[in-house]
């Protein structure tokens, strides 16, 4: 399969010119190694994978000899398997003025990140790669940064075909793992089955000491059943036959492994009585659809939870957009004690862009009226709207639009 350009490449190379080490984290199989090997082409950078048992044992027992054997500049794959290397990497960074000496990948963020914070602070840039977005799969690079203005949305519309619900749900059902792109239904099912059994179960055993695969599989399916809802540990615990503290521990583990994304609620001292419970999303919708046994895109599109999957898709497309962009943003959701909810707050440069998500191609424009409560606070409200299945951006009022979901 031909290499598909990843949006993170630009940001990675920028950090590579600034830091002496750059780490790319993310779930297994999202394409971390493929991307960095592609960026290595035509260079003399050494490659070593710590999945290789001999290289791993050398790294764990003699880091100095390891780097005499595998000399920088170097790409070290699955670096979390030998945290003993971090202290030597720190020493070598301090002894050299050269940027980009160490390229690292890691799949298990949980323990690795603590070790990195303790040893490599200020010396390393850290980026997260997700499974492929719909933009990446379609090889689309927008010319304009996303600010939710009608002008920007109209400019983006010129670069893409019109929104198509069947194509959107095929992407949701297929997911963004590079290995499943373009394969038939049987191979997709086999891929996700082996992904859970081989990679995920091995990682949770290594990282969390979890050996009861039956209960953990039930827990995974319980998480998939709660997609796009507020986390309910009691429900997760009951469905997996575990305690609530264990459910919380297992969900944090899945978050650390890059399997789920917990969207935090908006917090502000000026707005009282806000919820403190995060919402649960899957980083890859294809894995979520597999766990819930949606056998075809059509079944998923016409099913009772299609709106929840559509919301998951929109949230993760935005998460990926801002993770790879030059702009810094804070993405949350709003819910108060009266159950007033706004699906997304995108906060950028101290401006809040309020967004609703609706699977409909013609949602009720009155949904944006709930945004006006922001005007009674000191918070600055920016452009917003309703992200939906409409075919082109349509203004609702001077600050809000109907936003086609393929433009984010």
Question: Residue 108 has what pLDDT?
Answer: 63
The answer to whether the Cα torsion of 64, 65, 71, 75 is positive or negative is negative
- Report the chain's mean pLDDT, rounded to a whole number: 94
What confidence tier does 252 reach under pLDDT thresholds 50, 70, 90? very high
What confidence tier does 140 reach under pLDDT thresholds 50, 70, 90? very high
Residue 113 has pLDDT above 90, yes or no: no
Instruction: Decide if 169 contacts 297 (C-beta within 8 A).
Output: yes
Residue 111 has pLDDT above 90, yes or no: no
- DSSP tag of 127: E
Instruction: State mean pLDDT over 320-335.
Output: 93
365-391 pLDDT per residue, tens: 999 999 999 998 898 999 999 999 999
Residue 270 has pLDDT above 80, yes or no: no
Residue ranges of the chain assigned to CATH 3.40.50.300: 8-128
Q: What are phi and psi of 242, to 5 degrees?
A: -135, 175
3-state DSSP call for residue 363?
Answer: coil
- DSSP tag of 264: P
Write 371-376 long-range contacts (CB < 8 A, 24+).
371/342, 371/399, 371/400, 373/340
Instruction: Decide if 82 contacts 51 (C-beta within 8 A).
Output: no
42-97 pLDDT per residue, tens: 999 999 999 999 999 999 999 999 999 999 999 999 999 999 999 999 999 999 99
| Homologous superfamily of the 8-128 domain (CATH) | P-loop containing nucleotide triphosphate hydrolases (3.40.50.300)
């Amino acid at each position: 399969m031909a290499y598909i350009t990843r949006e993170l490449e630009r940001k990675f190379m920028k950090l590579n010119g600034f830091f002496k080490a750059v780490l790319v984290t993310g779930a297994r199989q999202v394409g971390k190694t493929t991307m960095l090997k592609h960026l290595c082409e035509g260079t003399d950078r050494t490659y070593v994978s710590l999945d290789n048992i001999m290289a791993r044992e050398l790294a764990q027992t003699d880091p100095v000899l390891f780097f005499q054997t595998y000399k920088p500049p170097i790409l070290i794959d699955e670096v979390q398997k030998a945290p003993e290397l971090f202290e030597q990497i720190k020493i070598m960074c301090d002894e050299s003025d050269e940027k980009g000496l160490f390229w690292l990948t890691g799949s298990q963020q949980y323990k690795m990140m603590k070790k990195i914070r303790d040893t490599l602070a200020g010396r390393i840039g850290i980026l997260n790669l997700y499974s492929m977005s719909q933009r990446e799969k379609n090889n689309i690079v927008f010319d304009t940064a996303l600010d939710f203005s009608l002008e920007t949305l109209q400019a983006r519309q010129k670069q893409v075909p019109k929104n198509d619900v069947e194509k959107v749900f095929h992407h949701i059902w297929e997911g963004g793992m590079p290995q499943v792109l373009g394969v038939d239904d049987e191979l997709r099912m086999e891929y996700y089955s082996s992904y859970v059994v081989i990679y995920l179960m091995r990682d949770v055993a290594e990282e969390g000491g979890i050996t009861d695969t039956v209960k953990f599989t039930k827990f995974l399916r319980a998480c998939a059943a709660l997609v796009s809802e507020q986390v309910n540990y009691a429900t997760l615990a009951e469905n997996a036959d575990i305690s609530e503290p264990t459910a919380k521990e297992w969900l944090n583990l899945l978050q650390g492994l890059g399997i789920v994304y917990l969207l935090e609620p908006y917090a502000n001292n000026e707005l009282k009585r806000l919820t403190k419970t995060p919402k649960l999303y899957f980083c890859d919708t294809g894995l979520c659809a597999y766990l819930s046994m949606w056998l075809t895109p059509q079944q998923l599109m016409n099913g009772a939870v299609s709106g929840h999957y559509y919301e998951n898709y929109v949230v993760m497309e935005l998460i990926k957009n801002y993770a790879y962009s030059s702009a810094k943003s804070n993405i949350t959701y709003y819910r108060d004690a009266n159950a007033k909810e706004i699906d997304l707050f995108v906060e950028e440069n101290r401006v809040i862009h309020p967004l609703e998500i609706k699977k409909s191609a013609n949602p009720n424009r009155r949904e944006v009226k709930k945004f006006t409560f922001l005007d009674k606070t000191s918070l600055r409200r920016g452009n917003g709207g309703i992200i939906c299945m409409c075919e082109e951006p349509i203004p609702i009022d001077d600050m809000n639009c109907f936003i086609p979901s393929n433009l984010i």
